[in-house]
Homo-oligomer: A and B are copies of this chain.
């Protein structure tokens, strides 16, 4: 989110994430998005060049944030298991904070144009690579016992990303409790055979 983001543009992006989550990108119309954002359909084009650009901006911002913020969270941690705990905690908290954006980013890959698709796929790969690296380090340190770290990373990410599918802001479940359960489950899972 750059500092010079106009209020309306910001509103449109937030409403877009909500609408896309609710109906899917293709089933969402600009007329409805405009209505929800407080303008008329054609006005969207003052802020965005196309419907596709709205989707891309949501997804690109989300992936970029995930990558940079994950780094900030784990860069000073040496122990792989501790690093993994922190990474999982971060991932879940991010997905629980921006549920609409993260859900859309995870589910609307197919709606991207080819050019945008490549860019987002690249960032997904970078993000996933950070988890693979942690798992590889855990294997090296003998505190984890994973046969295929790529599959394990995918499994872990899919499971944790899944929180954005069901979590509701008004849920009685506390984020820390959810996080704790996922972290424990995963850490026992990766450590299992090395105990």
Contacts and interface: CB of A to CB of B under 8 A. Distances in A.
Interface of A: 22-24, 26-27, 107, 110-111, 146-148, 151-152, 154-156, 158-159, 162, 165-166, 173, 177-178, 181-182, 184-193, 195
Copies of this protein in the assembly total 2
Contact of A110 (B22, B158, B178): B22
Main secondary structure of the interface of A (DSSP, over half): helix
Contacts of A23: 110
Nearest to A159: B159
Contacts of A166: 154
A189 B185 CA distance: 4
A16 to B, nearest CB: 15
8 contacts: A22-B110, A107-B107, A148-B181, A151-B173, A151-B178, A154-B166, A159-B162, A192-B192
Given A159-B162, A185-B189, A189-B192, 4 more contacts: A24-B24, A154-B162, A158-B162, A188-B192
